[in-house]
Amino acid sequence: MELTVNLPDPLAKEAKAAGLLGPQAIEKLLREAIERRKQIDSFFATVECLRAANIPPMSEEQIQAEVDAVRAERRAARNRANRP
């Protein structure tokens, strides 16, 4: 597919200087944008599921405890993996 894009001159010059106007760079930019959109859609779908489940909100302390637990679990897994 051929694509024509009209850009303001300053943006076009900056993009060209950064190597962002070649086919591979544009493909990479598009793939990254599509992936970000999928992640955002997934996030909002998860939010809707949580709302529908009527799960009570967590306090800051509860959230921090969960974060700390996950970090401790990851540290323990790394330590196990690094043992001879």
Parse the chain into domains and list their residue ranges: 9-82
pLDDT tens digits, one per residue of 11-50: 999 999 999 999 999 999 999 999 999 999 999 999 999 8
At 82, the pLDDT band (50, 70, 90 cuts) reads: confident
Specify whether the CB–CB gap between 8 and 16 falls below 8 A: no
The whole-angstrom separation of Cα 69 and Cα 72 is 5
pLDDT at 58: 93
Distances (CA, A) of 76 to 54, 56, 64, 65, 83: 33, 30, 18, 16, 11
pTM comes to: 0.61
User: Which tokens sit at 49?
Assistant: 């599921």
pLDDT class of 83 with cuts at 50, 70, 90: confident
Biggest CA-to-CA distance, the chain = 58
